[in-house]
Structure 1
Amino acid sequence: MADTALPIPLQSPLTDAADRLAAATRASQGAVRLAELPFLAQVDVRLDAKGAAADAVGLALDLQLPLEPNTVVRAGELTALWLGPDEWLVVGPPGSQKDLQSRIRGAAGEEPVSVTDVSAQRTTLLVAGPRARDLLAHGCPLDLHPRTFEPGRCAQTTLARAQIVLVAREEPRAGFWVLVRSSFAGYLTDWLLDAAAEWTA
């Protein structure tokens, strides 16, 4: 019998918040820009940073895995975040997770490697604009001064008590990625909108 079930369209945990984020961005008159970047591919990779697999995976992705703690490497549409001495998060465009997993596993060959698709675990909030650092500083314990947390840095930290991965983007005026668990995305969005009231009221 033919399967007559219609495919369920993907729905972001912040679908209902898109209008509020856009309204806050407009109201701030350029001071802050808030948006969700839904469905980014996120693949967690664990391997020996000094082993042959690390170089092979870098060549397969055309993206060297960063070896310096809390740094980011970007090439084309892919970004690799250092999460630990043997752990990275590879972020790519929506829908690319299966291809990324295949390329990483194929490159590693017989070398020990763990490759896990964690795309559904988190969503990504964009926080940009001249006041982005001030906004994040309201609830993040890190020193976010540009001399300390400069573009190209990342950290596992908290924002308003929610666990996040914070990424300072390298592109001009690109701001920050806030990678947050889907179950906390609504709470964190409400917090950001409230904290941004200083510039959106």
Structure 2
Amino acid sequence: MLNETMDTVPLAERSVAVRLESPFVSVAGLLKAQEGRASKAFAMRELPFRDLVNVRGDLSDPAFVDAFAQVVGCQPPAQPNTVARGNGYDVLWLGPDEWLVRSNALVPAGMLEAKLAPAFGETYAAAVDVGSGYTVVEIDGARTRELLSRGCPLDLHPRLFTQGQCAQSVFFKASIVLIPTGDDRFEIVVRRSFADYFGRIMLDAVASLAS
């Protein structure tokens, strides 16, 4: 009887009843304690439940580019490791035919995929919601680049890696996408499976700043 009842409820209404749980739930206490100690040197907070969509397509296909721009508000960036700004979305270059689109604010999961997929129509393109598999962290402070350099192999000098850019890399053993959003501020896209490890290793690195 329960299954029969649920089958009659529209999918959009069923999703409202789903309880969202942060990938950092297991380290929530540690993160909360760190927020209480936040200083000008370093601060970290999670930006959970962003709409994240992986998009694949061909930039030489005007139908794909136009459909993407109509929904997102900008064309996919063609230059490697750059970010394009749309209507409430950032588009991160991941490869010649791959981008990660993320919302700038908390929005119901799956909204962008539901718009992009039908907009692409018969074009050789795909839009896949990956929001449940990732989360976003914001870090800032005067020693943020120093901290990142302890576990990230990228050259993070502000003359080389600044706003408008992004890069896939690692922080120690955690796969990340790193996005500068200010002089000493970054957003980091982290896989859910690495969230606990990332949170703990980041806080360990923060503690080492004082040593």
1:1-201 alignment runs, 5 A limit: 1=1, 3=5, 7-52=17-62, 53-92=64-103, 93-169=105-181, 172=182, 175-199=185-209
Give 5+ residue unaligned stretches, structure 2: 7-15
The Cα offsets for residues 36-84 of structure 1, whole Å up to 9 and x where unpaired, read as 1111111000000111111321122212211110001123421110000
From the two aligned structures, give the one with the greater helix fraction.
2
TM-score, scaled relative to structure 2: 0.84
| CA distance in structure 2 between the aligned counterparts of 1:194 and 1:63, rounded to whole angstroms | 39
The Cα shift of 1:97 comes to: 4.2
Counterparts of 2:210 and 2:23, CA distance in 1:
23
AA of the residue aligned to 2:51:
A
Contact 1:36-1:125 at 8 Å conserved across structures: yes
Matched residue of 2:153: which SS? coil
Bigger RCO of structures 1 and 2 (CA < 8 A, at least 6 apart):
1
Looking at structure 2, the residues matched to 13 and 60 of structure 1 have their Cα atoms a distance apart, in angstroms, of: 28
Measured in 1, the distance between the counterparts of 2:69 and 2:184 equals 25
Q: TM-score, structure 1 length as denominator?
A: 0.88
Secondary structure, counterpart of 1:54 in structure 2: helix
Pick closer, same or farther for the CA change 1:28–1:70 going to 2, 3 Å. Answer: same
- Could you list the per-position Cα deviations for residues 64-118 of structure 1 after superposition, in whole angstroms to 9, with x for gaps in the alignment? 2111100011234211100000000110143444331132223322211111111
- Asked if the contact 1:129/1:175 (under 8 Å) is kept, the reply is yes
Once residues 72 and 191 of structure 1 are traced to their aligned partners in structure 2, the CA distance between those partners, rounded to angstroms, is 27
User: Displacement, 1:173?
Assistant: 5.9
Residues of 1 paired with 2:66 and 2:142: CA distance?
38
Structure 1 stretches of 4+ with a deviation exceeding 3 A read 1-4, 93-97, 198-201
119 and 174 in structure 1: CA distance in 2 versus 1, 3 angstrom threshold = farther
Amino acid at match of 1:73: A
RMSD, aligned α-carbons: 2.4
Paired residue secondary structure (1:112): coil
Cα pair 1:129 1:173 within 8 Å, conserved: no
Q: Is the 8 A contact 1:32 1:199 kept in 2?
A: no
For structure 1, which runs of at least 5 residues remain unmatched after alignment?
Answer: none
Report the more deviating stretch, 86-95 or 144-153.
86-95
Question: CA-to-partner distance for each residue in 1:15-35, whole Å, 9 max, x for gaps?
Answer: 243342242244242211111
